[in-house]
Structure 1
Amino acid sequence: MVKQLDYKTIREIFTRFQEAEAEPKGELDHVNAYTLVVAVALSAQATDKGVNRATAELFKIADTPQKMLELGEEQLIEHIKTIGLYRNKAKNVIKLSKILVDDYGGEVPNSRAALESLPGVGRKTANVVLNMWWHYPSQAVDTHIFRFGNRSGVAVGKDVVAVERAIEDHIPVDFSLHAHHWMILHGRYTCTARKPKCAACLVRDLCMFEDKNL
């Protein structure tokens, strides 16, 4: 495991990310907090592009928990059957929609504990929703962030919770709102799992990754 980078280096890394893209955006299409919850829940073990293709028509007819319940599980499956684990995901979407209608008046709660109590919504999904919809500086650690954080030394940890804590502890607060988006996008398009594009990396000179390719 690489060494955790110091404050000055981390600040320079995120300064460069900010200069390159001041307002990074998540790539899941949504129209409100509810469709964001559904989209993120569907994205587990699936690509954002694949989820967007599946939800393009779905969200036109089912953009609230009540409308999703009226659509029903079988019709929902028809919309999302191109996504991995679609049957289980459909069950969870219907279950969480019923809970939102019954317990929250059809509104999406904005506490992490309440979000995590919904079927199919884990800590990562809750953090994404809190960050993207309510602009809370929560850190949703996925495989891209975990890989980049540990490779670079920006956020070192043995599991996703440890990396989340490392981000909160080490990244300056003025970068914290967009930190997870910068890292996700960097991990998805530059610091890839196979054949990372080190030659095109904005922070190559600051990165602790020992196998940086030339």
Structure 2
Amino acid sequence: MQRNRLEIVDHLFPGSVVSHRSAIEIGAALQPHLFVFGADRQGAQPGIAGPDREFKLQRNRAGNSVFVEPELVAGTQVEAFALYRALPHALARAIFMQVAVSEVHPFDDGNGRLSRAMMSAELTAANECRIIIPTVYRDDYITTLKAFSRTRQIDPVIRMFELAQAFTASMDYTGYDAAKASFTAANAFENDRDAQLQFQER
């Protein structure tokens, strides 16, 4: 059922989910991006880039947001890893992982995809529902993360991801047609900025 669910969602939102692997296997699959949050849970050293991929060499930014300086990336990740390991709950670790990757921006590109993949890996490892960011919720997702970059207020980020997880869990994954119908009823595919995500928690 879990594998079928992922296949259905990947058809509806191509590239939005990580296939059904353990967190360790996901780390191996992301070897070109490997660093602290993608490290093997069985003892790999944090702060190591993959053999085909290096950390950024120049400062990167998105709009007015300037990310961690290149020379501080490895050290920042080591410190963040200690905080991550102290978190007792999977959702807390997943959100921390996503936000930390997003804020550090360790690579020149692919940081957003990597942050969501590692968030999914953490939830998968704990056998908890993954988080899908549907099209209609994309502006909320981006706006909330941008606000965090400026204000460092984490509560809105937590609420945003909790709602996205509740939405994901509420969808019908019994088959492709059923899933598409439930996502459509929730306005998940809407690009209209006035549209709202509609669902009933299970």
TM-score, with normalisation over the residues of structure 2?
0.35
Structure number having the greater helix percentage: 1
Structure number with greater CO (CA < 8 Å, separation at least 6) is 1
Larger Rg: 1
